Structure formats: structure tokens, C-alpha cells
Structure 1
């Protein structure tokens, strides 16, 4: 029985890694505008290189190489520490912005200000898209959730994520529940998502404060029509680093639910 769970976890890990390549649309405005902004530095650099004296050019190249080495070092550290690719992408874009603004400041103050203004505009009008990859997660309206909980269905348990895609934390953790569902979804337990950005009145019904960003996302495990547990706890706060597959699996005892299903309990 334990070997079955290990095999399932291995399959889940393989799917999670391979699905990353297909979980984003890189023609999304968020990625497209960032790409164009970063690419514009190289265009400016090439077009203006003849204006710099040899000493300044050597100094600039030295700083660019330092920034590149530092960026690659941070990338190695983050790819080891980050559990989700969404968080890794967000962190790398943030680091790249700092390095780009810093290098641009060496070239010209106005160029640095232009990049800062451009990133501010991108942040204002676009956002990192949520994960759209593999998973067995149902997108639920409040009415559908109420129906499932009150009238029952094929699943005894429902693990529901209440989130809002206006929240950067919810976007960064948007792949966590789908990847858990690949391993743990069965006739015993199902997974669902309710978007509080579309249905804000639902938050009060389940004791979630939209005025506290640290409460988003909130995960609640229901057994029939009763709340069994939630993460984070009511009136407590959590950080994005706390929302991991391992933490949620332990908190909601998903391994135990899977064992119960396999053993026919």
C-alpha cells in the first residue's frame, strides 16, 4: 500500500515538472511587456556603445558581468528553495528588474528612470497569469459549492481553496492545489476553487476577511456540510512561504485520506 502512494507521488512529480512548460501562455501581456522592456536595454546598449569612451565601456561591461553572475547565483538558490515555478518566475522577474535599473543607472539616470516608470506601468495594468495546467480541480460558484455541501455528491470530503486573483499571493500559489489534486483526488475527496474576486459576498459566509490580504488564499476541508479544518486558521495570518504542498498535505492529512480510499474505508 505504501508503495502505491510512492508511485503516485512519483507520477505527480513528473507531471508537475513537465506541465510547467505548458502552464503559461507567454504571449500574455505580463510576459510580453517584460520581454520587450528587457530587450530594449540591449537595443539601447548596442545603439549607444560608440558614444562611450573605452574606459567607461570596460567599466560597464564589468558591471554587467557582475550583475549576470549575481542573477544566475540567485536563480540557482531560488530554484532549489522555491516549491512552485510561479514563485520562481515572480522572484526572477523582480531580481531582473533591480539589476536592470541598477545597470541603467550606471549608463544614464534618465534611462534608469524610464525603466522604473515602464515597470510601474506594467505592474499597474497587467499581472502574472494564474496557473492553468494539469489538475482535477473544479471551478465552483458559491451556489454550486452550497449544493455540493448540502445535497452531497460522489465525494465525502471537499478541499476548497478560496482565493482572489487580484492577490499576488494567490497567483503565486495557484498551482499548489491543482498539483495536490493530481495525487490525492479520488471518489473519497475532491478539490475545488471559489474565486472571491468574482463572489466577494461569499467571504463572510465562510469567515474570511477580504480586508486582510494574509488570509488569502484560505483552504477549507469540508466533510459533507461541516467544516473540518482550514488553513490558515481564522483570524490568523500566513505568508506565501507557508503555503506549500507539503504543509497543506500534512495539515489536511491528505496521505491518510488516500490510504483510507485505497483500503476501502
Structure 2
């Protein structure tokens, strides 16, 4: 009996290899299916191909100096990765920062090898920037994708929820992409019959911005979060004349600003 109990405890605390397999396969699928990640991976991989295929052309002194620079860049990159992992709240923001740092270090190392190689990498990254973009968060959540017509219908004709917290964002905004998982994750915790969550893409419907007092010019106010109660605006974040920063948009700050804990308690208590 004691031996059986011991095995049960070990099974409970051991890590399921199937879970690691699923995570790995999801990462590989995303890397292959998303042009943004695929092209970055191929560009970074091309450096190693060039590096090893031309290593015999380098003198021992130059090869030693290049290896020293590469180790310095790797150490600096790992240090920044640790710092950003602690500070960043979303994986989208972490990945965006890591890709930026990797590009800077790669171009810097390429300059040590040959400035033509550095120019080639800069041109490649420019093409990737022009023709692809980082995908937004598409994971779990209870937020609803709304068209302006659907939102107007919910606000004017009423719906099942007394409150609607709506995020106005654009699929081409880097800040919106970095913070795209914040509202879906909040909706998992706070969505109920009293409050619902929605998203309107102003990149697809830019004329809707003026209807809700959102500026799409410079400075950009996206994303903007507005809480509606029975078709009336209760509050918004950021304010009318404020500028949105990615570091300002966190689950904790939005929860406090829109009093989501209070709305959840009111629902539980039947208010």
C-alpha cells in the first residue's frame, strides 16, 4: 500500500511529457504558419549558414575576435531576455522586444564580418517589416469581435449585459498587438451576465473612431477601452487627450480603472 501511494505522489508531481509535446508543436506550427515568424527565423538561421560556410576564409586572429564578439552579443541578449521576461506582462510584447534586440545584435555582428552582409540583413528586415506584421493574440477568451453596426445595435437596442467593456484597436498598431491578450484574459475572469467584453477593429472601420471620440492621428490613442452602461459611456482609458503607451496597459490597471472586481462582486451578490 505504501509503495502504491508513493508512486501516486510521483505521478502527480511529475511533468506530463504530452503537455510539453503540445506546447512544442504549437510553437513550431505558429513559426511555420505565420510569415512574420517564419521570415525572421529564416533570416537569423541564414547567419549561421553564412558563418560556418565561410569560417575557413577567416584568419585565426579574426576568427577569435569574431567569436569573442558573438559571445558578448549572446550574453547581452540573454541578460536583456531575463529583464524583459520579468517586466513584460504579455508574450507578444516579450517576443517583439526580443526580435528587436536580436536584429540589433545580428546587424552589429554582421558589421564585424563585412558591411555588405550588414546591409543585406538591414534590407531583409526592412522587407519583413513592410510586408508582414506580428500576429495578435488569438487564444482563449470571452471577448466578442464586433462590427460598428453590431456595437451600435447592442448599445441602442440593449442586450443581455448591463455593462459592455469594449476595446477599440487596430490590427496594424504595434501597441495594440503587444497588448492584444489583455482584454481576452480579463474576460475569462470577469465575464458574466452583468458585464460583457467586446473588440472593435478600427483598422477595418476607421470612420467609427470619431463616433466615439478616438483620434487615429498623431499621437495615436489606440487601444482605447470604453465601459458602457445601458448605451451610455461610463468611463474610458486612456482619456480623450491622453496618449496610449504599451507599458500603461496592464490587466491590473484596467481592472482597477474600470472596477471589474466590484462589478464581479455585484453580480455574485445579485445587485
Structure 1 moving runs of 4+ over 4 Å: 18-24
Answer whether contact 2:169 2:223 (CA < 8 A) is retained. yes
**Hey, what's the Cα distance between the residues in 2 that align with 1:212 and 1:146?**
26
Q: How does 1:22-171 map to 2 (within 5 A)?
A: 25-27=30-32, 28-171=34-177
Answer whether contact 1:221 1:252 (CA < 8 A) is retained. yes
Q: CA deviation at 1:57?
A: 0.6
Match of 2:168, SS state, is: strand
- Counterpart selection for 1:254 from 243, 250, 260: 260
Q: CA deviation at 1:20?
A: 8.5
Match of 2:188, SS state, is: helix
Structure 1 or 2, whichever has the larger Rg, is 2
Match of 1:190, SS state, is: strand
Measured on the aligned residues, the alpha-carbon RMSD in Å equals 1.6
Provide closer, same or farther for how the CA distance between residues 213 and 125 of structure 1 changes in structure 2, counting only shifts above 3 A.
Answer: farther
Question: TM-score, normalized by length of structure 2?
Answer: 0.89
Match of 1:214, SS state, is: coil
Worse-matched range after superposition: 19-28 or 183-192: 19-28
**Hey, what's the Cα distance between the residues in 1 that align with 2:49 and 2:230?**
59
Answer whether contact 2:223 2:244 (CA < 8 A) is retained. no
1:182 aligns with 2:198: no
The count of corresponding residues between Structure 1 and Structure 2 is 248
Answer whether contact 1:167 1:213 (CA < 8 A) is retained. no
Answer whether contact 1:156 1:224 (CA < 8 A) is retained. yes
Q: Please list the CA deviations of residues 197-229 of structure 1 after superposition, one character each: whole Å capped at 9, or x if unmatched.
A: 111111010001111353001000000110000
Question: TM-score, normalized by length of structure 1?
Answer: 0.91
**Hey, what's the Cα distance between the residues in 1 that align with 2:267 and 2:125?**
49
- Counterpart selection for 1:208 from 183, 207, 214: 214
Match of 1:215, SS state, is: coil
**Hey, what's the Cα distance between the residues in 2 that align with 1:149 and 1:204?**
16
**Hey, what's the Cα distance between the residues in 1 that align with 2:30 and 2:102?**
20
**Hey, what's the Cα distance between the residues in 2 that align with 1:205 and 1:215?**
14
Q: Which runs of 5+ in 1 are unaligned?
A: 1-17
1:263 aligns with 2:269: yes
Q: CA deviation at 1:238?
A: 2.2
Answer whether contact 2:166 2:225 (CA < 8 A) is retained. yes
- Counterpart selection for 1:223 from 229, 243, 257: 229
**Hey, what's the Cα distance between the residues in 2 that align with 1:57 and 1:166?**
42
